[in-house]
Amino acid sequence: MKIKQKYQLSKVVKVLEVVLYEKSKTYDDISYLNEDTAFYEYALKLVHNGLFNILAELDFEDEAFLILDEVTMTLSDVMKETQHVYRYSVIDEKGEHKHTTNRKGHVIGMLEWALDYIVGNIEVEEL
């Protein structure tokens, strides 16, 4: 990745961190979004667009391209989903546990996954 793309990725990661961990601060700044789900849907689109713009400038052979492509495609799929109830399983040492969540919980979970996957696989600069 070139310096420009690393900087752009750092900005996207910062947006994810603020949305997920400092929501009240961001939510107050975007007062026209009066519903939690709408706030997270907006963040999902913002992050997807940021990652898509970075992808457009990356070399196909760059390892970061493969990682960001997977995240971008996954977030694109999430934006197309229309379910109201989402089912998922958590497997731990005690076995498999089935859960359900609403759209808001699903979007938050996918944004958390995107953040973890990016920072776990690509060196991201601190802003």
* Secondary structure string (H, E, C) spanning the chain: CCHHHHHHHHHHHHHHHHHHHCHHHHHHHCCCCCCHHHHHHHHHHHHHHHHHHHHHHCCCCCHHHHHHHHHHHHHHHHHHCCCCEEEEEEEECCEEEEEEEEHHHHHHHHHHHHHHHHHHHCCCCCC
Which residue did the predictor score with more confidence, 125 or 107? 107
pTM over 0.75: yes
Task: Quick: pLDDT tens for 65-90.
Answer: 999 999 999 999 999 999 989 999 99
Count: domains in the chain: 1
Does residue 127 lie in a domain region? Answer: no
Range of the domain at 19: 3-121
Does residue 109 lie in a domain region? Answer: yes
Does residue 43 lie in a domain region? Answer: yes
Does residue 126 lie in a domain region? Answer: no
